[in-house]
Amino acid sequence: EGRARAAPDSATAIPLGWLIGHTGRGREIAVALSGAARALPSLGLVLLLVLVIGVIYKTEAAVVSFVLLAIPSILAGAYAGFEAIDRAVIDAGRAVGMTPWQILWKIEVPLGLPLLIGGLRSAALQVVATVTIAAYIGLGGLGFFFIQGIQLRRFDQVLGASLVVIALALLLDGVFALLQRLVVPRGVALRSVASPSGTPRFPRVDVPQTAGATAEST
């Protein structure tokens, strides 16, 4: 079920984010829509879609709700990964005769992958933290133990369900954190870049000069 929910938002947000990051077009719109989507109340969105789609399709309504909640983080990670790449690296690729598709798949995608994984990590944690509200529309899951425990004043049951959710979130966070480190290409350093005002910006991807020299020599 988790994989079924992860597939639609990834299939939608990743190509769109890569397109925005690669072309540099539509970033302002994407940022505005992502910010608006992050502000949506999870429970209100689920209930609204159940009313719109219909009670007999409440499972589909819940899936659509969680997909909409996950898309902003994945979209931001996808286009931020491309934007963080030093333009000199892309220019070096063009200088050695790479086609736009080669630049996309051999430079931008590998170097932007760590931030994309970071977006997936954030989306997964958000969905895990909010998926329990599906119990309010009768879909069961761990949220059922919250509702039942509160109604019966069985706070040990509520605590147990909470610990399971926390453990699942920590497990997913650890897996994605490890994966995020593993996908960083060799010789690439990630460092934070701050704007003149001191506001943190997306990490910048730097490639050592030796890599550029090797590319030029080939």
Residue 215 pLDDT: 42
How many beta carbons lie within 10 A of that of residue 186, not counting itself? Answer: 5
Distances (CA, A) of 53 to 38, 48, 58, 60, 86: 22, 9, 8, 8, 45
How many beta carbons lie within 10 A of that of residue 100, not counting itself? Answer: 11
| Residue-wise DSSP of 151-203 | HTT-HHHHHHHHHHHHHHHHHHHHHHHHHHHHTSPTT-EEE--B-TTS-B---
Residue 9 pLDDT: 65
Angle (CA) 47 118 206, round 5°: 150
Specify the 3-state DSSP secondary structure of 204: strand
In the chain the domains, ranked by start, together with CATH numbers, are: 2-217 (1.10.3720.10)
Measured distance CA(215)–CA(206) in Å, rounded: 15
Q: Which of 148, 133, 146 is nearest to 45 (CA)?
A: 133
Written as tens digits, the pLDDT of the chain (218 aa) is 444 455 666 777 888 888 888 887 888 888 888 778 778 888 888 888 888 887 788 888 888 888 888 888 899 899 888 888 888 989 999 999 999 889 989 999 999 999 999 999 999 998 998 899 988 888 888 889 999 999 899 999 999 999 999 999 999 999 999 999 999 887 665 444 443 444 334 444 444 444 444 444 44
Residue 44 pLDDT: 87
Residue 6 pLDDT: 54
Measured distance CA(20)–CA(112) in Å, rounded: 13
Residue 116 pLDDT: 92
Tell me the longest C-alpha to C-alpha distance in the chain: 73
Cβ-based neighbours of 66, under 8 Å, separated by 6 or more: 5, 9, 127, 130, 131
> pLDDT tens, 201-215?
444 444 444 444 444
Instruction: Give the amino acid at 216.
Output: E
Residue 193 pLDDT: 41
Residue 165 pLDDT: 93
> pLDDT tens, 110-144?
999 999 999 999 999 989 988 999 888 888 888 89
Q: 112: which 2 tokens?
A: 């932007």
